[in-house]
Amino acid sequence: GENVEQHPSTLSVQEGDSAVIKCTYSDSASNYFPWYKQELGKGPQLIIDIRSNVGEKKDQRIAVTLNKTAKHFSLHITETQPEDSAVYFCAAVSGSARQLTFGSGTQLTVLP
């Protein structure tokens, strides 16, 4: 089955700086890669996603890149703000099972 690894597990940045979180996946059949933000006491919220036919996608301060050859994808947050502080999860969906396999999560702290 699919295996998703996520790094780093914790990340602290100064407000206004950029944050990058990286994930790798094992199943070459995976074709959908979402990113979730989970705030304390809440369920995960989809913030951006990318499909395997696209190399990069942007939504305001958030961008995701995908390298299918290397089987890795990354989340980029620019101009970070304190409200970006949360746990971020990457995930992958394989073509056959259509199930989400999550990474281990990254606790992002934006320091004011």
Partner 1 sequence: SAVISQKPSRDICQRGTSLTIQCQVDSQVTMMFWYRQQPGQSLTLIATANQGSEATYESGFVIDKFPISRPNLTFSTLTVSNMSPEDSSIYLCSHHRGDTEAFFGQGTRLTVV
Which of 13, 100 has the CB closer to partner 1? 100
Q: Does 89 bind partner 1 (CB under 8 A)?
A: yes
Least distance CB 41 / partner 1 (angstroms): 8
DSSP 43-77: --EEEEEEETT-SEEEETTEEEEEETTTTEEEEEE
With CB under 8 A as the contact rule, which of the stretches 13-21, 32-40, 55-63, 78-86 interacts with partner 1? 32-40
Computed on alpha carbons and rounded to an integer, the radius of gyration of the chain in Å comes to: 13
Two structure tokens written together for 53: 């036919």
53 near partner 1, rule: CB under 8 A = no
Distance CA 8, CA 110 (A): 15
Residue at 18: amino acid letter: S
> From residue 6 to residue 25, what is the string marking binding to partner 1 with x (rule CB under 8 A)?
--------------------
Residues that bind partner 1 (CB under 8 A): 32, 34, 36, 41-46, 49, 89, 91, 93, 98-100, 102-105
